[in-house]
Amino acid sequence: MYAIKVELKLNNREKTLMNKHLGFSRFCYNYALSIYNQLNHKEYPGGSSKKIDLIRKIFNNLTKKNPDFDWANQMSSRVYQNAFRNLKTAFTKFWKGEAKRPIYKKKKHPGSFTVDSSNGVILQLNRKQVKLPTLGTFRTFEAIPKCVAQTYTVSKKANRYYVAFHLNAELVPPIQHEVLEPVGLDINLTLGKYCVLSDGTQITYPKPLKTAITKLRKFQYHNRNKQFGNRKKGIKTSANALRYFQKLARMHQQVAARRLDFLQKLTTDLACKYKHIKLETLNIKGMLANHKLAFHIADASFYKFKTLLEHKAKTHGGIVESVDMWYPSSKLCSKCLNKKDKLGLTERTYDCNACSLSICRDLNSAINLAQAPLEQTKTRVGSIRRNACGQVVADNLGLKQEVNTKVNTKMINFG
Ligand SMILES: [Zn+2]
């Protein structure tokens, strides 16, 4: 299963149509939530799902027939059905303890709406076009591969419109990896690097992303006193402030897009080249508490990197292992396994007292991760063949997989 998300190329009339439906979706969600919150739950016991179904009936049979709500009849009926469904999911998650209690959607955040086809899947031809059920055909910036899908979600972010849907594609068959031995990967953002691999490869942080971040920070600092209105104090948003916040949203989006692009390309390359990757488990919550480290950790989007890498390793027939949080990867000497008691954050080279090894600190810890014993492994994604002694048996990736390699490169592009 893959998800595709592409930007829509809309004219003004189409933008208005999308905005109307975004508003309609928000209205229905808030409508149902408002009635639900006003219900006397002692008088009417029962699950939230049943109650929301009832609210939907009230909306359908009473509110929509009210002349004041004539506009609702001009909208796609699939939108409100899905809005009610989303609220149901939100409550289910809340009762399970996975999320907070649903709150009202705000106009400030345009969010998304979902349309689905009531009579089967919709065929997308291999064109720069997307057919949305009950709404029509719209242009896209990128071509959508020939596929079928039933449910489409349109979202708006920083004045741009996107459509996302699932695509039933077969998993990429395992490919022949260039490197079969385990490699360690140490993430470190200092000195413009992103991560270091135990075979000596250094991956640098892309410059366009860095410049975008610097630009954004400066822009925010220069406009630090602007307010987006304040209803309690009776301050209205000025035209200048509105322009500023619109530009700010665009800049934030650019940074996010550049970062995601970098992570996607990096993880695809890593998953294709290396069969067995070992990462360290970072105590991210603990590190975010340290204000000096927080920016760098959040900036590295380590969690996103890990999720992407694990997902891609799985589809490419590789393995990703996380080494225990307390494994002293940076304090050990990668040559003689002598452990140092103290290693400051500023010490960039590792000088061993026992065997006089002098090595880059990050490379040392990457090699240690690669050499980490099996019992230090916390989680593993993907499968590996092992014999009874726990040694890795060479995978017999036969001719079959080699033949398939050509297919892969095409499929990976969606990842
Ligand atoms: Zn040593």
- Whether 108 is covered by a domain: the verdict is yes
Task: Please give the model's pTM, rounded to 2 decimal places.
Answer: 0.73
Interval between CA 179 and ligand 1 midpoint (Å): 26
- Mean pLDDT on 66-81: 91
List pLDDT tens digits, range 166-202.
Answer: 877 665 565 678 888 889 998 877 667 888 898 888 8
Do 130 and 265 lie in one domain? The reply is no
Do 139 and 221 lie in one domain? The reply is no
Q: Please say if the pLDDT value at position 394 is more than 50.
A: no
What proportion of the chain, given as a percentage, has pLDDT over 90? Answer: 35
Do 57 and 189 lie in one domain? The reply is no
List pLDDT tens digits, range 23-40.
Answer: 999 999 999 999 999 988
- Mean pLDDT on 158-168: 88
- Whether 289 is covered by a domain: the verdict is yes
Interval between CA 133 and ligand 1 midpoint (Å): 65
Interval between CA 331 and ligand 1 midpoint (Å): 10
End position of a domain, from candidates 120, 138, 167: 167
Residue numbers of the domain that contains 163 = 2-167
- The reported pLDDT for the residue numbered 230 is 81
Interval between CA 374 and ligand 1 midpoint (Å): 22
- The reported pLDDT for the residue numbered 101 is 94
Interval between CA 336 and ligand 1 midpoint (Å): 4
Residue 144: beta bridge partners? Answer: 127
